[in-house]
Structure 1
Amino acid sequence: MQPDPRQLFDGIAFSRHHGVVAAVSGGGDSLALLLLLQEFLDSHADAPALTAVTVDHALRAEAADEARFVAGLCASRGIAHRTMVWRGEKPATGLSAAARSARLELLAQAAQSVGAGLVFTGHTRDDQAETVSMRAARGTGRGGAGIAPASLHNSGIWFVRPLLACGRAELRNYLAKQNIRWIDDPTNDDPNYERVRVRRSLTPEGVAGCVAEADDVASERRLLGTRAARLIDDHVRRMAPGLYRVDPALVEDTDSAGALYALRVLAAMVGGASHLPPENASERVFAALRDGVCATLSRSVIDYRSSGVYLHRERRNLPVRMRVRQGMLWDGRYRITDGDGLHVAPFGGVARDHPAEADPDLPQDLQFAAQFAEPALWRGDALIGAALDVDGGVKVGVPAPWATLLPSFDVDVAKALIRLLGGKTVLALP
């Protein structure tokens, strides 16, 4: 069956954007994406401009030739193209994860440079099945939702995956009928990679089962996030920088699953954690809160008082003093948007002499505990002040664990955290 561009792209709000980017490696999936997207855009007079972007990770000698191959194909079809190269030293460990992160950053940079708000990638139905199968082997719960149809990068760029319903063979047949050749990455046949081994083990029935499971888990995850968002809006307040009060009614809410999930995302946000705390550890803390017991979870202190349950960042493993870099993510909790020539570090003990503005009835020990872990800007040994309050240095709260990439499954609960932080509303789904 031929993929239909209208079915793939009709639901996307192209009218909001002046430009779009297609991530094209030269492989069959990404080339099919490019041609299908061009076909769709060419059928609309007011369509945004299309740019193809190839990322050269500088890890294989052939990568530069592959980028030139894509550039030549684009030139023959009147499509703008650029190559982004991952420069600098590569890590000795965690190379695959670092390469994925670099690819996102480079694609986002390319999109910004051409005024594009959307980046399209060629993830397929087969990729989805492989991802779900690998995560199932690790016992991942929420991860069973697989690859999200869209994800919001911290740059404000949406990464969109319109081919998740298309099979790899279907896309290659589409290219073959147009006499378009593609490049096969040799790593896609290397059994040293887990994904290759999983790919070889999956039958067509196995692919269908994994995709159906992903759809079910994704639906449950979206619904749970919506319920948790309601509870956060109703029961959680920001009392001072880094300090949040939870009404004990949240712990007693009849929607215990939604309340537990709300606690997990709150703990991750307050602690700046890149992942939600484990469900079993969260359940123990949740039970302890019902008994009025204090606890720690995901680098957050959860302090039960007569006036409510308070969350703040615990003192351990705070960042060391470092030079401010524009846009840096600090402690997983704040993005420092400016502060050239300054250093950023936690307030630490000097927090007692620099209390943040807060409700006068708020216990002073809680104010100090929260301020202790908040970012302050320094010039040499001189404290300039809280990052938020200093000219040239601004902190923006981010909804950890979605500080870098927000899957569309989690938009509702992330919006609740952003409202709590006083941040800007998340861009509408594409």
Structure 2
Amino acid sequence: MMYAAHAAFAGTGTRLAVATVDHALRDGSADEAAGVARAAAALGLDHDILTWGAGDVPGWDGRGNLQDAARRARYALLSEWAARRGLAAVALAHTADDQAETVLMRLARAGGVDGLAAMAADSHRNGLRLLRPLLAVRRAELRRYLTALGVDWVDDPSNDNPAFDRIRIRKALETLGELGISVPALAQVAQHMQSARTALEGQASAAMAALAQSDSGDLLLDRAGLLDLPAETARRVLIRGLRAVTGQNGYPPRGAAIDRLLAAVSEGRDDTQAGCRLLVRHDRVRLCREYDAVRDLRAEPGQAWDGRWRLIGPAESDTHVAALGPEGARQCPDWRVTGRPHASVIATPAVWQGQRLIAAPLANLPQGWRAEPAFPSDA
């Protein structure tokens, strides 16, 4: 990717920078990252090594799915790096082979349209634009390209470890190709599913515009209108609602979790999912932040809290921003004037001085403070 981008943008004035993520999971990874740094320097490119666990992104704790945790950490590190560098986008070197493997992995998990659409050539994650310009290129073609340039490469030994699902899928592809289930065919399936996803997202956008309204960070949905939608469109509306309320635009909850939320809407019961509360009333559905998801968050006044709010007000010493909570709500005698339910109000930001509540502008206790959205929603 580095060599191809350097060749493609030579003389255009486009600023390029390079990052290598060192997951620090095996001996030799640091030396390999340093080798990329030397190669970048030879091309005159700035290079940074992003080590998992060395900064604000916690390292591997030995629990859960290692490859999934590594992937999430990788994107978090790249997002922080791109923001620090002031980069408009990050180009990733995923190939047609990676795309085919992803389709098969999603198929094994009974993935729907979004799952089988696999990786998009142009997408956003965590506020970062991701470009994958090599999705139509085979892995072997890239190796031939490097060989022609006289450039060597390092094969990650974990790519031969059958303990990982992706590696078993990669081995299976060698046999499936004899049945016509080839890398090009699977990549084409992804393209077809991406077209279907685009059409479905268009319907979800129209439904959101017709059924949704914002209420101080919460999202209100017309219940009857939501239930009248085709099930797939309704699911996408709920996913957009979750993203709007949490300010997070990563992987959505699994299909079964969204189906459970849709069933709750139909049955008229409340539910919790992905750091949100679903509160169902006769004529409407409210999505608000879940208190337990934000109860331990802290920020300085003026800084982003929960990635969604900034509290601005008079300068006071030793203050911090944290969730209002049940105790804080008891100190806001007029919080009901907001018209929002208790579950919503206690998850809003407030200004504290130690254990003393100073202000809660979203609970009708402004005291000279105001709450401003920190970032526009990606949903």
TM-score by length of 1: 0.70
1:93 and 2:72 are equivalent in the alignment: no
CA 1:327/1:199 → structure 2, altered by over 3 Å: closer, same or farther?
farther
Structure-to-structure mapping, 1:46-125, within 5 angstroms: 46-88=12-54, 90-94=60-64, 95-125=66-96
Tell me the alpha carbon deviations over residues 58-99 of structure 1, each in whole angstroms, 9 at most, x when there is no partner: 222212221222222223333332322234454121443333
Q: How far, CA to CA, are the matches of 2:370 and 2:320 in structure 1?
A: 9
User: Bigger relative contact order, structure 1 or 2, given CA contacts below 8 A and separation 6+?
Assistant: 1
Could you tell me which residue of structure 1 aligns to residue 356 of structure 2?
Answer: 382
The answer to whether the 8 A contact 2:245-2:289 is kept is: no
Could you tell me which residue of structure 2 aligns to residue 420 of structure 1?
Answer: none
Could you tell me which residue of structure 2 aligns to residue 159 of structure 1?
Answer: 130
Identity %: 29
> 5+ unaligned residues in a row in structure 2: which ranges?
313-317
Could you tell me which residue of structure 2 aligns to residue 149 of structure 1?
Answer: 121
The answer to whether the 8 A contact 2:223-2:265 is kept is: no
The letter for the 1-side match of 2:105 is M
Which residue, out of 345, 348, 354, partners 2:323?
A: 345
The letter for the 2-side match of 1:373 is A
CA 1:85/1:316 → structure 2, altered by over 3 Å: closer, same or farther?
closer
> 5+ unaligned residues in a row in structure 1: which ranges?
1-32, 400-413, 418-430
Deviation larger for 367-376 or 186-195 = 367-376
Q: How far, CA to CA, are the matches of 2:294 and 2:204 in structure 1?
A: 30
Q: How far, CA to CA, are the matches of 2:100 and 2:226 in structure 1?
A: 37
SS in 2 for 1:55: strand
CA 1:384/1:223 → structure 2, altered by over 3 Å: closer, same or farther?
farther
The answer to whether the 8 A contact 1:241-1:356 is kept is: no
Deviation at 1:268, TM superposition (A): 6.0
Q: How far, CA to CA, are the matches of 1:295 and 1:373 in structure 2?
A: 16
Which residue, out of 178, 189, 195, partners 1:213?
A: 189
The answer to whether the 8 A contact 1:300-1:312 is kept is: yes
Could you tell me which residue of structure 1 aligns to residue 203 of structure 2?
Answer: 227
The answer to whether the 8 A contact 1:145-1:216 is kept is: yes
The letter for the 1-side match of 2:299 is V
Structure-to-structure mapping, 1:350-389, within 5 angstroms: 350-351=328-329, 353=332, 355=334, 364=339, 366-386=340-360
Q: How far, CA to CA, are the matches of 1:104 and 1:327 in structure 2?
A: 23
Q: How far, CA to CA, are the matches of 1:391 and 1:342 in structure 2?
A: 13
CA 1:47/1:148 → structure 2, altered by over 3 Å: closer, same or farther?
same
Could you tell me which residue of structure 2 aligns to residue 335 of structure 1?
Answer: 308
Q: How far, CA to CA, are the matches of 1:329 and 1:225 in structure 2?
A: 29
CA 1:62/1:227 → structure 2, altered by over 3 Å: closer, same or farther?
same
The letter for the 2-side match of 1:229 is S
1:281 and 2:249 are equivalent in the alignment: no
The answer to whether the 8 A contact 1:240-1:358 is kept is: no
Q: How far, CA to CA, are the matches of 2:170 and 2:88 in structure 1?
A: 32
